[in-house]
Amino acid sequence: MKRGAERNPASAEGDWLIDKRCIDCGAARHVAPGLIVRRGEYSVFDRQPSTPEEMHQAWLAAELCPTRSIRTESHLRPPPRVYPHELAEGVHLCGHNHRSSFGAHSYLVVRPSGNLLFDSPQFTRKLVAPFEEMGGIGKILLSHRDDVADADKWARHFDAEVHIHRDDRSAAPYATHLIEGSSPAEATDLGDGVRAIPVPGHTKGSVVFQVDETYLFTGDSLTWSYERSAMRAFREACWYSWSAQKQSLIGLAEYTFARLFSGHGPWSPHREPQEMRKLLLELTERM
């Protein structure tokens, strides 16, 4: 048994378990809310899955866990094609989160003009075939230096463009396109309804991506809180400047969006753009 792979006794008794390799990235709790909860510094099963929906949630959690800490005593095999998992029309959670990104989420957006990969999952055959069937990857859009993971492998396999901000380019020296600008006012139009918006703060080269003035892919710059029905940012994980991040998010409020998809944290429900703007400005006031 791998070091730390013993069952966490705080997890509910039964077949499904989470072992002590858990790094508390929180990702499993986003796909299995209520079924998997946080106790102390770890995620655990609050109860054993008992319905088809809960079993599906358990597999979603197991197939995205970056440390492979979620499994069964009976060594059940996962069903085929757990991921990609559709969250909204054309927007798919990739799963297979990478430990180097501390378990950050990544997303595939299917577009007639070429699919978009926002940040990167692990490079795995479990995703290669589905991605190929869905039309491959045209562009890989990296929100910042922390969540590049296996972007280089995906780029080579699909001959995809790789975009990252110039100030974070050392994390992806293979990038084919560098995003410029030092504030949301200096956004770059990438074509086909996609805009790269610089939001320095979490890192100097942090970027959020707006798609069709509807979806916002935010990396680690901000996320959603279901408990508060509000937006939040990570002061304890701000590597460049908290004051710059606040100013960036104030500027970001000038852009239209109805849902956000973050790297660390859950995705939001659909809300009217005016409400999203209000919630974003409320976040900056709290900052």
In this structure, is residue 6 part of a structural domain? no
Same domain, 195 and 217: yes
Instruction: Concatenate the DSSP letters of all residues of the chain into one string.
Output: --TT-SBPTTSPSSSEEEBTT-----HHHHHSBTTEEEETTEEEESS---SHHHHHHHHHHHTT-TT--EEETT-PPPPS---SEEEETTEEE-----GGGTT---EEE--TT--EEES-----HHHHHHHHHTT--SEEE--SGGG-TTHHHHHHHHT-EEEEEGGGGGG-TT-SEEE--SSGGG-EEEETTEEEEE-TTSSTT-EEEEETTTEEEEETS-EEETTTTEEE--GGG-SS-HHHHHHHHHHHTTS--SEEEESSSPPPPP--HHHHHHHHHHHHHH-
Give me the pLDDT at residue 250, please: 98
Q: CA–CA separation, 228 vs 91, rounded Å?
A: 24
Residue 135 shares a structural domain with residue 262: yes
Number of domains in the chain: 2
Q: What's 58's domain CATH number?
A: 3.30.70.20
Q: Is the peptide bond before 184 cis (omega within 30 degrees of 0)?
A: no
123 and 166 housed in the same domain = yes
CA separation for the pair 210, 215 (Å, rounded): 6
Kindly report the CA angle at 275 between 86 and 183, in degrees rounded to 5? 85
Cα 9 to Cα 133: distance, rounded to the nearest angstrom: 41
Write out the chain's pLDDT in tens, 287 residues.
466 688 889 899 999 999 999 999 999 999 999 999 999 889 999 999 999 999 999 999 999 999 999 999 999 999 999 999 999 999 999 999 999 999 999 999 999 999 999 999 999 999 999 999 999 999 999 999 999 999 999 999 999 999 999 999 999 999 999 999 999 999 999 999 999 999 999 999 999 999 999 999 999 999 999 989 999 999 999 999 999 999 999 999 999 999 999 999 999 999 999 999 999 999 999 99
Owner of token pair 């409400």: 275
CB 198 within 8 A of CB 215: no
One domain, residues 130 and 238: yes
Q: Is residue 3 part of a domain?
A: no
Per-residue tokens: 140? 């890989």
**Cα(5)–Cα(1) distance, integer angstroms:** 6
Give pLDDT, residue 96: 98
**What is the amino acid identity at position 188?**
T
Compute the distance between CA of residue 199 and CA of residue 168 in angstroms, rounded to an integer: 12
> Do 92 and 59 reside in the same domain of the chain?
no
Angle at alpha carbon of residue 265, lines to 72 and 38, rounded to 5°: 45
Domain ranges, residue 23: 16-72
Residue 2's pLDDT is: 60
Say what the pTM is: 0.96
In a domain? residue 255: yes
| CATH number for 106 | 3.60.15.10
First to last CA, the chain: 44
Cα distances from 162 to residues 116, 136, 159, 188, in angstroms, run 10, 14, 9, 15
Indicate whether 158 and 202 sit together in one domain: yes
Rounded distance between C-alpha atoms, residue 130 and residue 126, angstroms: 7
The answer to whether residues 264 and 241 belong to one domain is yes
The reply to whether 239 falls in a domain is: yes
**Same domain as 160, residue 212:** yes
| Rounded CA separation 24/28 (Å) | 9
Cα–Cα distance between 283 and 246 in angstroms, integer? 9
Q: Is residue 238 situated within a structural domain?
A: yes
- Is residue 184 a part of any domain in this protein? yes
Q: Are 34 and 143 in the same domain?
A: no
* Residue 179 sits in the same domain as residue 233: yes
